[in-house]
Structure 1
Amino acid sequence: MSYPEDEDDAALFRSAIGEVTPMRPVETPVTGKPRPKPRARMAEQDESQALGEFARLLRSSGPLDAGDVASYRRENLPARMFQRLKRGQYSVQDELDLHGATAAQAEMMLREFLLEAHAHEHGCVRIIHGKGLQSDGGAPVLKNLVDRMLRQRNDVLAFHSAPLTQGGTGAVLVLLANR
């Protein structure tokens, strides 16, 4: 079917569809109050649970002292592997020394170190935090920081203060999960 070129498209459309009945306008109820903005409730819930878990960890165990052993094991890690870690029987594939770092610097260094350890697929690393004998206020800052941070990470299967020959209570051996 061919149409003359000068005919209007709108006129062609109306002739093609035929007669129509206009719709009535839809009235929206006016309540006076704007609708509330959407909230990410699940994200808020996850955040509050994570903060609650961190607060529980802080309450359940007081800060570590200079001579205290730092120790942690995930439930799914076999006890035999944890015993080998405690004895220092794993080959340490990399090491981070935090001596002289501030808490903020140590936190950043530790995060970067663990990312790099995973990139190189290291299974066991040593973190030297010192015993904290120079800390003001008594509690070793870096030792407690390392303890708290490692407990929060999903990629850490276990950690334990190193044997005396590898740094004693001034260092931890960390067993990392495979990717």
Structure 2
Amino acid sequence: MTASHKSPDSDLFAELMEDVTPLKQNDKVSYFEPHTTPTLAQQHKRLAAQLDAELDDNILSTEYIDLIDPLDFIAYKKDGVQDGVYKNLRLGKYGVDATLDLHGQSLLQARHALYETVSDCHQRNIRVLLVRHGTGERNQSQKGLLKSYVNHWLKQLSCVLACHSALKPHGGLGATYVLLKKSADKKLENRERHAKR
């Protein structure tokens, strides 16, 4: 259709719009959707994406995991760890050589701190580490989040022989005993000492 041939609809539209004035620039109305809190699954997916973007030598997984209940025990031992050794760890019979407190840290910060601390403790031949992560019981939006990831991450570290939720004096279900392998230097030292006998 050419400009000289107007349709009846365009005439009607022009007639209806006669008394309409355009909005001034400062009269524009912006529409924002009401603030909604992301679901726990959405938060985990976002975290996984953030962690994937982080480039470091940290081997701890960034995948989405199923959360454990805040009041569940953390309990893990590698094959080959003697039952008596694991029982002593579980009962808090080994002295705690170092402590890592993750309270108030984001998952990114906790992931970094756990990896660095466990690696450092292993190199320095620290055998028992206490990790304080809390239960997350009071935080409804992130219930047991940090505890769940600590549980997941400890199992990925080759120098971790076993771990178990701590006794009440050490933090109870909000803390975990971690038993680490002897460092390579300590193993060599032990071999040399036994060879001299």
Task: State the TM-score, normalizing by the size of structure 1.
Answer: 0.64
The answer to which of 156-165 and 130-139 deviates more is: 130-139
Displacement after TM superposition at 1:75 (Å): 1.3
Distance in 2, matches of 1:63 and 1:102, equals 16
Is 1:164 aligned to residue 165 of structure 2? no
Once the two structures are superposed, residues 71-103 of structure 1 have per-residue CA deviations (whole angstroms, 9 ceiling, x without a partner) of 101111000100000100001000000000000
Report what 2:116 is aligned to. Answer: 112
Structure 1 letter corresponding to 2:98: D
Shift in Å, 1:138 = 5.1
Instruction: Find the counterpart in structure 1 of residue 76 from structure 2.
Output: 72
Which runs of 5 or more structure 2 residues have no equivalent in the other structure?
1-58, 184-197
**Contact 1:85–1:160 (8 Å) recurs in 2:** yes
Normalising by the residue count of structure 2, what TM-score does the alignment of the two structures yield?
A: 0.58
| Total equivalences in the alignment | 124
Q: Distance in 2 between matches of 1:72 and 1:174?
A: 10
Paired with 1:138 and 1:117, the residues of 2 have a C-alpha distance of 29
For 2:130, the aligned partner's letter is: R
Larger radius of gyration between Structure 1 and Structure 2:
1
> 2:12 is matched with which residue?
none
Question: Which position in structure 2 is the counterpart of 1:14?
Answer: none
Give me the whole-angstrom Cα distance separating, in 2, the residues matched to 1:145 and 1:101.
12
Query: Retained in 2: the 8 A contact 1:135–1:141?
Result: no
| Cross-structure match for 1:89 | 93
Q: For residues 104 and 156 of structure 2, what CA distance do their matches in structure 1 show?
A: 24
- The answer to whether the 8 A contact 1:64-1:70 is kept is no
Q: Gapped runs of 5+ residues in structure 1? A: 1-49
Q: Please report the RMSD computed on the Cα atoms of aligned residues, expressed in angstroms.
A: 2.2
